Structure 1
Amino acid sequence: MRFSPPRLASAALVAALALLSSAPVTAAQPEGTPEEQITFGIRPATQDAPDNRARFTYGATPGAVVRDYVAVSNVSLAPLTLQVYASDAFNTSEGGLDLLPAGRPSTDVGAWTKPETTTVVVGARSVVIVPFTLTVPADATPGDHTGGIVASLVTEQTGANGSKVRVDQRVGARVYLRVAGELRPGLAVEGMAGDYRTNWNPLGRGSATVTYTVRNTGNVRLRGKQKVVVRTPWGSTVDAEVHADLPELLPGNAIQLTAAVPAVLPAGWLTAQVDLDPSVGPDDQKLEVPDVSVTSTFAAVPWAALALLLALVAFVLLWRYRRRGRSAPKPVRTSTSGAEKVPDVAVR
């Protein structure tokens, strides 16, 4: 994985993509040659060498102590000084998995996991094995706890405008811990709302947008499938354009989602419905996870049709008024003297 410093946005992107992956992270130094590129990684290991585990996965009881090893590798042609620390994991608002930065205190697995050393010097083309201890508190809650062990390289680089930029390149290995006890898997839909956008063609259909938040209300990591439909008062339905399944949600975490619903009639009132079909990992198939179905009603006013109707009504009223004015009888003039006018008679 490469990026071109000194742009801060590029550095942040590299950190986000590399984090929680066992793949190495690569960074090119300013005006550097391929021989000066920096590449390092982190992965589970035995006491002697990296092993084949993709992540750290443990099952433990409250009060248990787990001892393990992590391998920090340097594929570069020069030694690297790297920071090693543990941190709590969380879901981003888009559903991705990230770790708290080094300056943010952890309260879960990140706080329970202690590397034997926090700074390692890894020689060129070398690997350093770092022991660590995970101590589960006696009052740890049952269920899944997720974090990661990070190898970090912090450098200072010069931007195009001459300013100094602090770049933190991180790569991490996930830590999945399940504490023994009652497992309560569950998802919930919160803050559901719908919005209708009128098609100003009176005979056309508009579109709707359904927004909602899916929260993991249980204590087990969950994925799932989702379906969103919009229903008219007379029962016809339109499916939303939902292409992706729910990503893995950690207990207590949430993801904000938006579903677009095309070609919806402005039926006055519409009902949106979100259906979730949660799923668990291969080792949790015996767990019963309830499905979720939530509805929300929102207005879909046919403004274009109403505007056209009002224009027609105004036209008809104006036409009738003018026609009535043309067909009304003309007023008869009368004398104002009070005496009846007698026609002149010729006398011979």
Structure 2
Amino acid sequence: MSQSDWFQAYKSAAQFLIAGPCSAETFEQVLETGLALRQQSVDFFRAGVWKPRTRPGGFEGVGEVALPWLAEVKKQTGLKIAIEVASPAHVEAAEQFDIDMYWIGARTTANPFAVQELANALQGSNKIVLLKNPVNPDLSLWIGGYERLQNAAIQSLGVIHRGFSTYPKSKYRNSPEWQIAIDFRRELPDVPMICDPSHMAGKREYLAELTDIALNLHYDGFMIESHPNPDAAWSDAAQQLTPAALEAFMRNRKKAVAETTNTEYLEAIRLWRSQIDVTDALLLELLGKRMAISEKIGILKKNYGISVLQNDRWMKVLEHMQSQGQQNNLSDSFIRIFFKAIHEESIRKQVNAKSEG
């Protein structure tokens, strides 16, 4: 039996969906939300019981007292229940209330010791366990965390992509870094991957664009936060939707198919891709020429005793390129990432040229 077999029961025309409030605040709040979501195509009801926060002083969840509330939600709605666990003590407490799914949060995933402790506590478990990506953009750490759970013979596993904390910040709360998720799927193609656009977005107005990208990347489902009165939520108010808004939101999302046999499409995409291939080859040729110039600059700097890094020059280049990028309909974030990579490679070339020249 594969550890991804559990997901076969949820593969359908409808979108696999985990939904519910960021935090369980009161019994009335979780029950009201659960009753509203029961009318929709929600597969699991989520609610934060323990809330690990970046800094002290924020709302950190009501704790164990919420577990019987969720058990009652399950009883009255028939919805399966999902919560976050961050320690063996959380697992032990949750086991008393027939919780169906556990997820391991991004801050916990970043700590291999913590993941291993949870793997030990969940050894051989028949619960569904989902591992969020680590808070920092580290593919190996994410895969390593999954492997720890896999080695613990947990019967049902999957992962959640919720975005990464990066510097500088973008408009999103957590940068999606889609390529890391794509690379994870390339390494472990059979692992169900759920997208959490709520934690990526940080603001509900960005949910649609992120969810639509995830649909086009063929994610297996979504975890989206929903609260009966989002503006009054005790945590993450800006990123939650009311149950009614969530229903409309999901109704407007359309799955994209992976392949087609339509000959008109196949011929058109072949022509466009051939143009991309030629353009990419030209880009690489230009980058090679640019780096050859960087090597010459490195030798010149060595001859005159000049340091490689010229920060004022770099900031002027970046500012100019972002302005040029806007004229070519390229986002500031793309230009910043692209030219940062070019700048780092240029520095490496200049340093090598200075040491070898």
Give TM class, smaller chain.
Answer: under 0.3
Larger radius of gyration: 1
Q: Which structure dedicates a bigger proportion of its chain to strand? A: 1
Q: Structure 1-normalised TM-score?
A: 0.22
Q: Which structure dedicates a bigger proportion of its chain to helix? A: 2
Higher relative contact order (CA 8 A, sep 6+): 1
